[in-house]
Amino acid sequence: MKKTFLLVLFSFCFSYSQSEFIGYNQLILSKNYNLEMVPIKGGEFLMGSPLYEKNRLADEGPVRKVKIDSFWMAKYETTWNLYTLFMARELDNLQQPFSKNSEVNIDVDGVSGATTPYVEMSFGMGTEGYPAISMTQLAAKKFCQWLSAMTGNFYRLPTEAEWEYACRAESESPYYFGNDSNDLDKYGWYKNNSNNKYQKVGQKLPNKWGLYDMHGNVSEWTLDAYDTSFYSNSKTEIDNNPYNQPEKLYPRVVRGGSWKSSNYRLRSASRQASSKQWKKQDPQIPRSKWWHTDAQFVGFRIVRPFITPTADEQNKYWNN
């Protein structure tokens, strides 16, 4: 009887049913890594910033109406505690058998792993409870694939539209807490209060939906290619789950601003493009596809869509 109970308990931890759209803590091999997932109910919102918004940039408009499907998003930015599991790959041989309830059924041995960096990639800013940084978008996507293989649940990076929808949490102001940047110290780490380094996740006030550090601390990778005209190219009254699929390596979109950013870069609509310059000091030839030596401000957080994509679609999200 005891053995049966433990098996049922493990199965619950391994794959959460999509019939219940509630928050949960994603365990990895029954161990808690504080990977709490917040349910974000789908809906419509105005993406981008209006012409009258202070400090707005041209690539944030025109404002467009967007519809987003429901998904879960990580409450916190991905920490070194989690990311080093992917780097070390010591858990791979403990991967559990696939289940009929699993959203993902792939062999973890087939997931590419990040190479060991030639320097200590936290750059002395701390690891325990701090956000992982300096990885390329590819490395962040491969973490999502590895995590999916280990848990049976499908994880990926958010699209740019999903990220802004989650950040805004039904707000239409420059920041999810309102208009006044003078209040920013209570909600995010940025140039004025960060002491020139990132900080442990979850120390500032969350948004309405319980997401922390959406403004500042580290900028966050999204799936999208960066295009200054992507918003204006919309041909429909409402865009359904827009995603600007990349066709080349640069540039791609990061969101949220960071510990190095001025306050206006932390606005919900602010966008930033990745650059080859983020590898400027990389001594390797060819330069690493896993690390950005000069992007100590970039990290990521993960999402899990409520509607599981097909296996082919999953691979496109992880490998494009």
Q: What whole-number distance in Å separates Cα of residue 215 and Cα of residue 221?
A: 13
pTM of the model: 0.93
Give how far Cα 49 sits from Cα of 45, 59, 63, Å. 12, 9, 6
pLDDT at residue 283, rounded to an integer: 83
pLDDT in tens, 178-190: 999 999 999 999 9
- Peptide bond just before 251 cis, omega within 30 deg: yes
Amino acid found at 142: K
* Mean pLDDT for back-to-back runs of 10 residues, the chain (320 residues): 36 51 97 98 98 97 97 98 96 93 95 88 95 98 98 98 98 97 97 98 98 98 97 92 96 98 98 96 88 96 98 95
Paired tokens of 92? 């791979």
Name the residue among 170, 188, 179, 178 with its Cα closest to residue 266: 188
Query: Please, how many CA atoms are within 13 Å of residue 268, restricted to the half-sphere of its CB?
Result: 30
Name the one residue in this structure whose structure tokens are 């690390």: 291
Amino acid found at 20: E
Burial of 236 (0-12, 13-18, 19+ CB in 10 A): exposed
pLDDT at residue 19, rounded to an integer: 62
pLDDT at residue 242, rounded to an integer: 97
pLDDT at residue 282, rounded to an integer: 87
pLDDT at residue 26, rounded to an integer: 98
